[in-house]
């Protein structure tokens, strides 16, 4: 074979290059998947593949199509932010009529306690109970309708909901004081807590009822047993300047340093 | 006899090559555009992000449970796409972080008499970084940032080399023991492309998690970002996370 004036070794080298080049192209075609690089350095088809995965949770709007009343009740209650599937479990198959199995109907205390047991890490104000002390051994739904969980009866004590504050207060110098000594509480607060708020003291004089120089024993609210306590007293006019008491002292656990 | 090219002919032939390349270059994207129109979902019109309001998280673990159910995550308590951490900062400055089984069954009461300064829960998940280190290190292009800003893994193309698991500064990835491929949160891509919320957002009882899009006005996410102090995790890593936390404590890593 002759290619004009080209030396033989150049021809051989060109053949080698050609073979390598062609095989590279073939190997690339074989291994680089279709749709690779269409949208970026990845297989564009995989996006559709991931988008086509099966759905498990239907969403409460789907539940509302059939269970209108329950959803209506729930949406007016303290559980209005909950989706049905939080308690009843994933229900896409049920909604899609792919299965005869009905979603779970939880009755054990543990399900409610997963959110409502007292943990110091939970945000203040979130309703929490101490399991051992709050109506032990009875399922929650005997008193609370899960779709409208506002308690039907007045909770026995403030600590049923305000566990964090109650725990702090119980080991503080204010332990002998009932919550209602400072927080006059309307009857309705136990049923509709947000719309009937308890009173919060707003003036220095309120603390002064007990803690001002010259406060009379008779001024101390009824039912407070202070045997063995010595009430710290200050001059209301000079103590703390223009600050109000709770800017330095935490009322539920006042320091005496 | 071999054909002899005149110079003019040769140049004309040469000019055809870039023309053909250009033509291919133009028709390629056109085909892609046509494909997108049919599905009814245009990824280019969305850019997803999540907000987490730490002051609302009660650490119930419903999100962890829902995520495992929705995405068929292995049951063993060390495979998570999302999990909850409990931070306890003691008065002596000690910081304790725990996450028993990812928080899937909630948390036990704190033990010990040490005085606590503050304590709170932090839900974590893939941050869907705008500048994702996991995507940079993938040797085959199996993990990528999609057009709508979600970082995804191509299960069929992943070779299971685990580089991405090491590269993620948030520990958000795991190797699925069944497929031996990397896996992670997808923002429930199969749900959001159909207009549903991610499973963890759907079940969050206090609505501590907010799902939405960046660059859209009058959305819950936008409202949260306007009215809260927003932080991201490990901002110094320059990953530009798209999971935004409100009231994030300085101790959170």
Cβ <8 Å between A51 and B193 = yes
Residue A24 lies in a domain: yes
Residue A39 lies in a domain: no
DSSP A130: -
Scanning every residue of chain A, which has its alpha carbon at the shortest distance from the alpha carbon of B105? Answer: A114
User: Whose CA is closest to B242, among B252, B230, B251, B226?
Assistant: B230
Flag whether pLDDT at B210 surpasses 80: yes
The β-bridge relationship of strands B174-176 and B151-153 is unpaired
Looking at the complex, does the CB of residue A49 fall below 8 Å from at least one CB of chain B?
Answer: yes
**In terms of domains, do A64 and A15 share one?**
no
Residue A156 lies in a domain: yes
Nearest-Cα distance to chain A for B217, in Å, is 23
Mind listing the pLDDT tens digit for each residue in A132-168?
A: 878 777 888 888 899 998 865 556 678 777 877 887 8
C-beta contacts of A215-221 below 8 A and 24+ residues apart: A221/A181
Scanning every residue of chain B, which has its alpha carbon at the shortest distance from the alpha carbon of A110? Answer: B105
In chain A, residues with a C-beta closer than 8 Å to the C-beta of B199 are 56-57
In Å, how far from its chain's centre is CA A6?
81
- C-alpha A14/C-alpha A12 separation (Å) is 5
**Is the Cβ–Cβ distance between B215 and B23 less than 8 Å?**
no
| Stated pTM of the model | 0.74
**In terms of domains, do A114 and A142 share one?**
yes
Name the residue facing B199 among A41, A49, A57 (closest C-beta): A57
Domain containing A122 equals 106-171
Q: Any idea which residue has 């199509």 for tokens? A: A65
Mind listing the pLDDT tens digit for each residue in B81-132?
A: 999 999 999 999 999 999 999 999 999 999 888 989 999 999 999 999 999 9
Burial classification of residue B45, based on how many CB atoms lie within 10 Å of its CB (0-12 exposed, 13-18 middle, 19 or more buried): exposed
Nearest-Cα distance to chain B for A93, in Å, is 12
Average pLDDT taken over every residue of chain A: 86
Scanning every residue of chain B, which has its alpha carbon at the shortest distance from the alpha carbon of A130? Answer: B109
B212 Cβ contact list (under 8 Å, min separation 6):
B48, B49, B50, B51, B219, B220, B221, B222
Name the residue facing A46 among B41, B59, B157 (closest C-beta): B157
**In terms of domains, do A229 and A205 share one?**
yes
What is the number of structural domains in chain A?
4
Cβ <8 Å between B144 and A42 = yes
Residue A49 lies in a domain: no
**In terms of domains, do A69 and A87 share one?**
yes
- Residue A224 banded pLDDT, cuts 50, 70, 90: confident
Residue A42 lies in a domain: no
Could you give the ipTM of this predicted complex? 0.79
Nearest-Cα distance to chain A for B166, in Å, is 20
CATH number of residue A59's parent domain? 1.10.287
- C-alpha A46/C-alpha A44 separation (Å) is 5
Name the residue facing B202 among A40, A85, A114 (closest C-beta): A85
Cβ <8 Å between A86 and B203 = yes
**In terms of domains, do A111 and A92 share one?**
no
Cβ <8 Å between A114 and B189 = no
Cβ <8 Å between B120 and A121 = yes
**In terms of domains, do A93 and A110 share one?**
no
- Residue B17 banded pLDDT, cuts 50, 70, 90: low
Nearest-Cα distance to chain A for B67, in Å, is 10
Residue A223 lies in a domain: yes
């Amino acid at each position: 074979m002759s290619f004009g004036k080209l030396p033989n070794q150049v021809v051989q080298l060109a053949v080698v290059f050609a073979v390598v080049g062609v095989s590279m192209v073939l190997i690339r075609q074989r291994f680089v998947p279709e749709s690779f690089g269409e949208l970026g350095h990845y297989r564009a088809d995989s996006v559709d593949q991931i988008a086509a995965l099966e759905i498990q949770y239907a969403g409460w709007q789907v539940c509302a199509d059939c269970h209108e009343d329950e959803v209506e009740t729930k949406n007016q209650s303290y559980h209005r932010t909950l989706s049905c599937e939080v308690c009843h479990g994933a229900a896409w198959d049920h909604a899609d009529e792919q299965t005869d199995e009905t979603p779970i109907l939880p009755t054990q205390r543990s399900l409610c306690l997963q959110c409502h047991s007292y943990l110091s890490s939970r945000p203040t104000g979130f309703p929490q109970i101490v399991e051992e002390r709050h109506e032990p051994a009875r399922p929650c739904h005997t008193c609370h309708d899960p779709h409208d969980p506002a308690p039907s009866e007045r909770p026995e004590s403030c600590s049923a909901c305000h566990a964090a504050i109650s725990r702090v207060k119980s080991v503080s110098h204010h332990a002998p004081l009932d919550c209602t000594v400072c927080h006059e509480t309307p009857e309705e607060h136990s049923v509709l807590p947000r719309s009937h708020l308890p009173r919060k003291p707003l003036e220095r004089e309120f603390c002064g009822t007990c803690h001002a120089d010259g406060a009379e024993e008779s001024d101390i609210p009824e039912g407070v047993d202070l045997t063995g306590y010595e009430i710290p007293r200050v001059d209301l006019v000079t103590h703390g300047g223009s600050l109000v008491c709770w800017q330095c002292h935490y009322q539920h656990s006042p320091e005496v340093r | 006899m071999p054909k002899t090219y005149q110079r003019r002919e040769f140049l004309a032939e040469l000019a055809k090559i870039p023309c053909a390349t250009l033509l291919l270059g133009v028709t390629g994207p056109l085909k892609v555009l046509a494909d997108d129109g049919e599905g009814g979902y245009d990824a280019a019109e969305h850019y997803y992000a999540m907000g987490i309001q730490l002051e609302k998280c009660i650490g119930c673990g419903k999100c962890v449970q829902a995520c495992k159910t929705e995405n068929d995550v292995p049951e063993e308590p060390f495979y998570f796409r999302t999990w909850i951490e409990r931070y306890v900062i003691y008065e002596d400055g000690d910081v304790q972080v725990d996450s028993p089984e990812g928080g899937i069954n909630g948390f036990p009461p704190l033990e010990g008499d040490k005085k606590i300064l503050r304590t709170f829960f932090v839900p974590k998940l893939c941050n869907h970084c705008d500048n994702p280190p996991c995507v940079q290190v993938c040797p085959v292009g199996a993990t990528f940032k999609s057009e709508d800003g979600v970082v995804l893994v191509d299960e069929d193309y992943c070779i299971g080399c685990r580089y991405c698991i090491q590269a993620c500064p948030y520990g958000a990835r795991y190797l699925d023991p069944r497929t031996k491929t990397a896996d992670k949160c997808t923002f429930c891509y199969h749900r959001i492309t159909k207009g549903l919320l991610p499973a963890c957002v759907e079940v969050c009882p206090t609505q501590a998690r907010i799902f939405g899009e960046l660059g859209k006005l009058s959305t819950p996410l936008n409202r949260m970002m306007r009215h809260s102090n927003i932080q991201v995790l490990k901002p110094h890593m320059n990953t530009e996370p798209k999971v935004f936390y409100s009231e994030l404590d300085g101790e959170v890593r």
